[in-house]
Structure 1
Amino acid sequence: MLENLKKALKIKEIRKRLWYTFFMLIVVRLGCQIPIPFVNKSSISEIMSNFANDNFSFFSAITGGSLEKMSIFALNITPYITASIIIQLLTIAIPKLDELQKDGEEGRKKLAEITRYLTVGLALIESTAMIIGFANMKMFDTTAVAYGDMHAIRKWGVIVTGILAMTAGSAVLMWIGEQITEKGVGNGISIVLTINIISGMPSDIANLFTNFVFKEGMSIGGRILAGIIIIGVVVGIVVLVVILQDAIRKIAVQMSQKVQGRRQIGGQQSNIPLKVNTAGVIPIIFASSLLQFPVVIASFVGKGEAEWTHYLSQSYWCDPSQIKYSIGFIVYLVLIVFFAYFYTSITFNPREVAKNLNDRGGFIPGIRSGKPTVDYLTKILNYIILIGAVGLIIVSIIPILASGVFGAKVGFGGTSIIIIVGVIIETIQSVRSMVSERNYSTVKGIF
């Protein structure tokens, strides 16, 4: 890794891309500190304290804490992520979108354009709901405000200003992500998401050590043991995520030989790589969002403390003194497995893979072409999806168990670590490929 970074820094073009990415991320973090106009600063901490608990911890993490500050980037890139997922799901239901997805570069550009429009639409809807909800909680100064001789800006003006600022902030972040992809390194949207999560991790880790290592009355041995356990758990989760992200099941493929003139072509051995964690972090995001959505709505309408919300709130799960609320935890695990199978089924089609394999003259040794190949791929896929789902469950429940049993509340969890590790691996591979491409171009130019 360090060797690749040294090689990359020696190449001017890659060095410029790295610096461009770095400065754009600084812009992102600065934007997360700029508040929306007319925010009543005295009421922010009181109202936004709800976002410090586990119900909103993941949303807080992926927005880099900008939501608690009610900054212009409060929505961050969540509308873009939601829009991208919706477009992927709609490609199954709408043949026209499916055709665009298969139509090469031009089709992908059109899908990206549709995703942008949908992102702005979702940002407008979300910002409208949030601004009106927070305005009803007295977060904004909606009384008449005057600047010198200017006319008073009344409640509706304050609300419209907040909606436009929040929507524009989300659109700007989408643009920044696309610019990083084009002029920087790696996937810009993923990198913006990752830097937001990383920004909150130091304070969360500091809180863990404050509450469990430097707790008053603890012996030196107890402090050391607590520190070792915390570090061991974090390192263990990271190692498990790395293994889960890199795990691949390779299905051997044999290409048929063809006679062309006097030569025989084909006959090569290849493989179909199937990722164990095919769906990535999507199942956890879907499951969390589905359970937390009613809680968010209840909070906005002043019913956030109703008992039924406790069943859907991670902060009440796995607590030995309130074990009945862990029913929601069981539902959460079932949803992760369900969405792992559901999402993989719409992104990997065994029937289509078998058809493409047959068209290219390939086959799986020992398996006949056609339906037997489809059945074989489906069987293998179901097997590895289950393994991936179990891996996701293990990673996601560790922070929940730590919170419920030991009261170790942190803003980041297994989901955040999966995102961070996945994006870091993807970015390193991107830099490595740019270095290899540069070296290849140099050698080609010599000869």
Structure 2
Amino acid sequence: MSIIESIKQKIISILQSKDVKGRLLFTLSMILLYRLGSHIRVPGIDQDKLRQLWQSLQGSLIGVLDLFSGGNLKVISVFALGITPYITSSIVIQLLTVVIPSLKRLQEEGEVGRRKINQYTRYLTICLSIFQSTAITFWMQSQPGLVNLTPSLFVPLSVITLTTGTALVMWVGEQITERGVGNGISLLIFAGIIVRFPSILVQLSSNIGNDPLSALETVLLLVLLLALTAAIVFVEKAYRPVVIEHARRRSEFPDSKSYLPLKINMSGVIPVIFASSLLAFPITIAQFASANDSLAESLTRFLRPSHPLYELIFTAGIIFFSFFYVSVIFDVHEVSNNLRKYGSYIPGLRPGKSTAEYLDFVVTRITVVGALYLSIICFVPQFVANGLDVGEIPIIGEWLYSSLSSNPALSWMVKGFGYTFYFGGTSLLIAVTVSMDTAQQVEARLLTKKYDPAGGGVKVRGRRIRQEVSDGA
């Protein structure tokens, strides 16, 4: 079967499934609602002056902030804060579950505990939204000619508008997760990335038409993006199989084997989102502080893409959150106990502590590989686009920068090719992984409906599998 026929068959299957079709339509309607919010601006702001202000802030972490807001921050729409407060709150709550025993117990209580933790996350999100919206409001008020309203009217109006917008974005994301297809928060970030594709195409076409050298650079960039996309797909589908044997079934199925598939990148795109949000939080305060504030100037200088300190902290954050998130979602002791409970074991290992230690050893190794993979995917496009400002490295920085910048063949290593943040590895990673995850969830739901007897699918009865045929009786 060709690829076109396979895609056609999938579309027909989706249209024939009321559940999957309804969930997809609901997801699209929620994303449309989110995108409509970008056209509703906070009143009292001069958009021309705001556009000039953002141009002066290019090259900083404003690109990260705008990425998670889906482009709403640059126009100060009602969704300007995006989902950044929610992500930050999730990070804080997840970290607190490790140090606070009561939250740890809630996490282990199943669905009831999960809902309680989600409620705490919502409360913290509103508090952070009020804080961040207040900082943004006073920053806008301090810019000459940017605000047309009086402070007594503009400040409360902006804080209420931005906080309400964040609450609505949080609600939309949760609704998509529960009633739609895919992870709602990730899909909202994905939607903000996808809408930028027309601008990317325009930029590429203009670069190709300028001169042969620019055209060659654009072609090489496209090849790099395709290679990175292929690498992402390959690693996201890769897993490390752990052989499992079932003691109770050996006599019944002597030649059968099962595997515990451990994904190479078990944490997905979560470490990248967490690390980016964590870096964006202090720069939010610095970006909206007074221009004469020395601390704000230092943060703006050091925490910017292409700065060695930023890249180092970003990479360390990805590695930390990779291990942290894997430890949360995959408890080796719980898996070991479940294997022993069902009479299963790993060949050559005793059930219990030995199995848990072996699983911990395997998971640690694949998590190292997954964390390095995420770091490379995020660093390479940023390095190609903006280079690495090695001049900020102590002692040898100035000499290294002058040596590389004076060489025409190597100058791009410190200056980059000058492309925008659209080609960042974070954007590419989120777009590809969210697409794959959503497609897998659609496939899983279609497969579930196929084997659902109530829906006319395959019915399993004992060892016999037969197809239920409806005769209209």
Q: TM-score, normalised by structure 1?
A: 0.84
Paired residue for 1:433?
444
Q: 1:156 aligns with which of 147, 152, 155?
A: 152
Matched, 1:418 2:426: no
Question: Following the alignment from structure 2 to structure 1, what is the Cα–Cα distance between the partners of residues 84 and 254?
Answer: 46
**Equivalent residue letter for 2:303:** L
Q: Which of residues 338, 343, 365 is equivalent to 2:320?
A: 338
For residues 213 and 89 of structure 1, what CA distance do their matches in structure 2 show?
Answer: 47
Q: Residue 366 of structure 1 aligns to a residue in which SS?
A: coil
Q: Does 1:373 align with 2:355?
A: yes
Give the match's secondary structure for 1:406.
Answer: coil
Distance 1:370 1:15 in 2: 44
SS at match of 2:73: helix
Shift of 1:193: 1.8
Partner Cα separation in structure 2 for residue 65 and residue 48 of structure 1:
12
- For structure 1, list consecutive stretches of 5 or more residues without a partner in the other structure: 144-154, 318-324
| Residue in structure 2 matched with residue 140 of structure 1 by the alignment | 147
Deviating more after overlay: 168-177 vs 285-294: 285-294
The answer to whether 1:37 aligns with 2:43 is yes
TM-score, length basis structure 2: 0.80
Partner of 1:147: none
Aligned to 1:283: 271
Contact map agreement 2:87 2:274 (CA 8 A) in 1: no
Percent pairwise identity: 34
1:117-138 deviations in Å (ceiling 9; x for gaps):
2322222222122222222224
Query: Structure 1 residues 258, 179: CA separation in 2 closer, same or farther (over 3 Å shift)?
Result: closer
2:24 maps to 1:18? yes
Q: Can you list the C-alpha shifts for 1:314-370, whole angstroms capped at 9, x where unaligned? A: 1xx2xxxxxxx5344344334433332233233333233223323333221112233
Q: 1:149 is matched with which residue?
A: none
Name the aligned partner's letter for residue 118 of structure 1. L
Q: How does 1:66-85 map to 2 (within 5 A)?
A: 66-85=72-91
Q: Partners of 1:198 and 1:121 in 2: how far apart?
A: 30
Q: Structure 1's 164 and 412: CA in aligned 2 closer, same or farther, altered over 3 A?
A: farther
Moved more, 291-300 or 392-401: 291-300
Kindly indicate whether residue 113 of structure 2 is the aligned counterpart of residue 125 of structure 1. no
Q: 1:176 to 1:294 in 2, by over 3 A?
A: closer
350-359 vs 285-294, which deviates more?
285-294
Q: Give the structure, 1 or 2, with the largest relative contact order (CA under 8 Å, sep 6 or more).
A: 1
Q: Give how far 1:431 is off.
A: 1.8
Report the Cα offset of residue 291 of structure 1: 4.1
Aligned counterpart for 1:176 among listed residues 163, 172, 178: 172
Amino acid at match of 2:432: V
CA distance in structure 2 between the aligned counterparts of 1:205 and 1:97, rounded to whole angstroms: 47
The equivalent of 1:246 in structure 2 is 237
Aligned ranges 1:213-224 → 2 under 5 Å: 213-215=208-210, 218-219=211-212, 222=213, 224=215
Q: Secondary structure at the match of 2:240?
A: strand
Q: For the residues of structure 2 that align with 1:223 and 1:172, how far apart are their CA atoms?
A: 43
Q: Which residue of 2 aligns with 1:189?
A: 185
2:119 maps to what in 1? 113
Q: Residue 232 of structure 1: CA displacement?
A: 0.8
109-118 or 187-196: bigger deviation? 109-118
Aligned equivalent of 2:286, options 298, 301, 305: 298
SS in 2 for 1:272: strand
Instruction: Note the alpha carbon deviations across 1:274-301, whole angstroms, 9 max, x for none.
Output: 2211222333334434444444333222
1:255 maps to amino acid? H
The 1:379/1:437 distance shift into structure 2, 3 A limit, reads closer
Closer/same/farther in 2, CA of residues 276 and 96 from structure 1, 3 Å limit: same
CA distance in structure 1 between the partners assigned to 2:254 and 2:183 by the alignment: 35
Structure 2 spans left out of the alignment, 5+ residues = 1-5, 388-415, 460-467
Name the SS for the 2:422 alignment partner: coil
Match of 1:385 in 2: 367
Question: Separation in 2 of the partners of 1:347 and 1:98?
Answer: 13
Aligned amino acid, residue 181 of structure 1: T
Describe the SS at the equivalent of 1:249: strand
**Among residues 148, 163, 169, which one is paired with 1:167 in the alignment?**
163
Task: Say which of 288, 294, 301 aligns to 1:310.
Answer: 301
- The separation in 2 between residues aligned to 1:350 and 1:196, in whole angstroms, is 36
Contact map agreement 1:32 1:71 (CA 8 A) in 2: yes
Instruction: Return the alpha-carbon distance in structure 2 between the equivalents of residues 371 and 182 of structure 1.
Output: 37
Q: Which residue of the partner structure matches residue 456 of structure 2?
A: 442
Per the alignment, do residues 181 and 340 of structure 1 end up closer, same or farther by CA in structure 2, a change over 3 Å counting? closer
Whichever residue aligns with residue 176 of structure 1, its letter is V
Note the C-alpha offset of 1:387: 0.9
Q: Quick one: distance in 2 between partners of 1:243 and 1:374?
A: 28
**Structure 1 residue ranges, 4+ long, deviating more than 6 angstroms after superposition:** 263-268
Q: Residue 29 of structure 1 aligns to which amino acid in structure 2? A: R
Q: Deviations over 1:199-221 (max 9, x none)?
A: 123313432443x4222xx23xx
